[in-house]
Amino acid sequence: MTALQPLRIAIGCVLAVAACSALGDAGQLFRQHCAECHGADRFGGIGPALLPSNLERLRKPTAEQVVAKGRLATQMPAFGDKLSADDIRAIVGYIYTEPAEPPVWGLEQIRGSRVVHADAAALPAKPAFAADPLNLFVVVEAGDHHVTVLDGDRFEPLARFPSRFALHGGPKFSPDGRFVYFASRDGWISKYDLWNLRMLAEVRAGLNTRNAAVSGDGRYVLVGNYLPNTLVVLDARDLAPVKVIDVSDERGRRSRVSAVYTAAPRNSFVVALKDVPEIWELRYDENAPPVFAGLVHDYRLGEAIGEKGQFTPRRSPLENVLDDFFFDQSYAYVIGASRGAGGQGGHGQVVNLDVRRKIKDVPLPGLPHLGSGISWEWNGHRVMATPNLQEGIVSVIDTRTWQILKQIPTNGPGFFMRSHENTPYAWVDAMMSKDRKDTLQIIDKRTLEIVGSVTPEPGKTAAHVEFSRDGRYALVSVWEMDGALVVYDAATFKEVKRLPMKRPVGKYNVYNKITRSEGTSH
């Protein structure tokens, strides 16, 4: 030990004690002013969870503003007249600090959170309205955390109800289109009956959730979580938890789940992992063959080693993490890319889920948003197209050879792309463009050229398209607090109707979803 070391240690101790006591004061302020709504454990209550991983999308200065001024269209009040700027800063510092004990959210907590509002079996098994139940749109209004159910023939709302805080990802439907399941970033899964226009059940499956998928047979919901590192299987009837699966590689290295998807033709869920380079496939049918626990192997045909096949992960090892991907129409292939920090931008990979390995690299530029990809027949074979979160291009890829056919330049980076079997056009937004985020461009799927555009409201972000069941209308969001849902004639690109909505982030057509239309996300 050098002469200076005891001094350094002493200073370190004083600083640590000071930091602890500052956190202690902040903790006291939190308990006094925030815990009633956000929970003493910061797991959330009537307000959202306030743990560092849940706050990743909120910058600290914005968080301070929210505490001082409140949050529009929520129950979050303003504390600016009760708390000093220093107190507010202390509270914000506290909520961005990891709790002393790692948060626990297992089977018991999930079970304890479940709320059953009504029993679907006791409700009429037919729609309570005259509108076509397969041409309904479910519109997620993030501005004030509501959902609107829209008649897709008349474009009139049938119902509007409050959702959990911050829904994210596409709602998922039961195979007959009667039930819709929503996931919130805070882990709440809600089941709603579209025929009776009633909320049926809610359960908190995680503390920080990515998304949920419904099995092709409609019996299970799989939820993928960042916090804790788990997959949760729910019974789709009443959202009762069936199984919690810890997510780690075979050496025990834990991973967050990027997203879960249903591969109905394979009777399986496919899971993208954020921190370990593997794709998982979990069969949901009871007849699933047992899975060999080893890393690089196939289904075991003979003896099982303790694990049933149902809900047992079958791992495909990869060279790189993939967290965003697109299934080809056969569901044997996925093309994926990594989008997080350390991701391999410019590096798409095609993975064959049967041989369980990468079969091709695709030199995709920027950050392709493959989860939003669409496909169609082009010159006798199938192509897919993906928007790009970083560059103003749409990449069109031949799915026989996985070669890039064309990079179509657009107004700027965009999030979402959509089409329909009954239209020759694909619509793409440029919501991250510097100066053209108010405009969607329309690509002719035959010529791969841009042939038109729509600007629903100059200067206001326009994004996310979904077609009506018959493909005649394209619905676009004006993505603002006082925004709108704008209905366009998909052939003439002329506006047909406009409905005011509160930041309508996404809209989903029941028929297009349950038939896995080639023009929409699945």
The SS3 call for residue 373 is coil
Between residue 354 and residue 373, which ones bind ligand DHE under the rule CB under 6 A?
Answer: 371
Which C-beta is closer to ligand DHE: that of 90 or that of 134? 134
Which C-beta is closer to ligand DHE: that of 88 or that of 189? 189
Which C-beta is closer to ligand DHE: that of 33 or that of 191? 191
**In whole angstroms, how close is the CB of 205 to ligand DHE at the nearest point?**
14
Which C-beta is closer to ligand DHE: that of 27 or that of 224? 224
Which C-beta is closer to ligand DHE: that of 399 or that of 521? 521
- Residue-wise over 185-208: b if at least 16 C-beta within 10 A, else e? bbbbbbbbbbbbebbbbbbbbbbb
**In whole angstroms, how close is the CB of 162 to ligand DHE at the nearest point?**
16
Q: Which helix (H) or strand (E) holds 14?
A: helix 5-33
415, 425, 467, 488: which one contacts ligand DHE (CB under 6 A)?
A: 415
- Helix ranges (DSSP H) in 349-442: none
329: left (phi over 0), alpha (psi -120 to 50) or beta: alpha
Best CA proximity match to 353, nearest among 322, 384, 376: 322
User: Candidates 101-109, 168-176, 248-256, 380-388 — which segment interacts with ligand DHE by CB under 6 A?
Assistant: 168-176
Which C-beta is closer to ligand DHE: that of 133 or that of 336? 336
Q: Which helix (H) or strand (E) holds 28?
A: helix 5-33
Between residue 192 and residue 221, which ones bind ligand DHE under the rule CB under 6 A?
Answer: 210-211
Residue 273, C-beta contacts closer than 8 angstroms, at least 6 positions apart: 247, 255, 256, 257, 258, 279, 280, 321, 323
Between residue 259 and residue 278, which ones bind ligand DHE under the rule CB under 6 A?
Answer: 259
User: Candidates 21-29, 72-80, 165-173, 357-365 — which segment interacts with ligand DHE by CB under 6 A?
Assistant: 165-173
**In whole angstroms, how close is the CB of 210 to ligand DHE at the nearest point?**
6
223, 244, 505, 514: which one contacts ligand DHE (CB under 6 A)?
A: 505
Which C-beta is closer to ligand DHE: that of 231 or that of 505? 505
Burial class from Cβ neighbours inside 10 Å (0-12, 13-18, 19+) for residue 54 reads: buried
**In whole angstroms, how close is the CB of 272 to ligand DHE at the nearest point?**
7
- Token pair, residue 353, equals 């889920």
Which C-beta is closer to ligand DHE: that of 168 or that of 472? 168
Which C-beta is closer to ligand DHE: that of 33 or that of 420? 420
Question: Which is it for the CA torsion 20, 22, 28, 31, positive or negative?
Answer: negative
Residue 408, C-beta contacts closer than 8 angstroms, at least 6 positions apart: 385, 393, 394, 395, 396, 443, 448, 449, 450
- Residue-wise over 263-289: b if at least 16 C-beta within 10 A, else e? bbebbbbbbbbbbbbbbbbbbbeeebb
Between residue 453 and residue 472, which ones bind ligand DHE under the rule CB under 6 A?
Answer: 464
Binding status of residue 169 toward ligand DHE by CB under 6 A? yes
Which C-beta is closer to ligand DHE: that of 33 or that of 339? 339
Binding status of residue 170 toward ligand DHE by CB under 6 A? yes
- Answer yes or no: are the C-beta atoms of 354 and 268 closer than 8 Å: no
Q: Which helix (H) or strand (E) holds 231?
A: strand 230-235
Rounded Cα distance, 220 and 234, in Å: 6
Which C-beta is closer to ligand DHE: that of 216 or that of 309? 216
Binding status of residue 227 toward ligand DHE by CB under 6 A? no
- Helix ranges (DSSP H) in 120-243: none
User: Candidates 108-116, 151-159, 166-174, 343-351 — which segment interacts with ligand DHE by CB under 6 A?
Assistant: 166-174
Binding status of residue 187 toward ligand DHE by CB under 6 A? no
- Helix ranges (DSSP H) in 49-175: 60-69, 85-95, 107-113
Between residue 132 and residue 151, which ones bind ligand DHE under the rule CB under 6 A?
Answer: 142
Question: Which is it for the CA torsion 38, 43, 44, 48, positive or negative?
Answer: positive
Binding status of residue 506 toward ligand DHE by CB under 6 A? yes
Rounded Cα distance, 317 and 326, in Å: 18
Rounded Cα distance, 384 and 350, in Å: 13
114, 160, 168, 219: which one contacts ligand DHE (CB under 6 A)?
A: 168
**In whole angstroms, how close is the CB of 276 to ligand DHE at the nearest point?**
17
User: Candidates 45-53, 65-73, 164-172, 350-358 — which segment interacts with ligand DHE by CB under 6 A?
Assistant: 164-172
What is the binding site for ligand DHE (CB under 6 A)?
57, 142, 168-170, 210-211, 259, 371, 415-416, 464, 505-506, 521
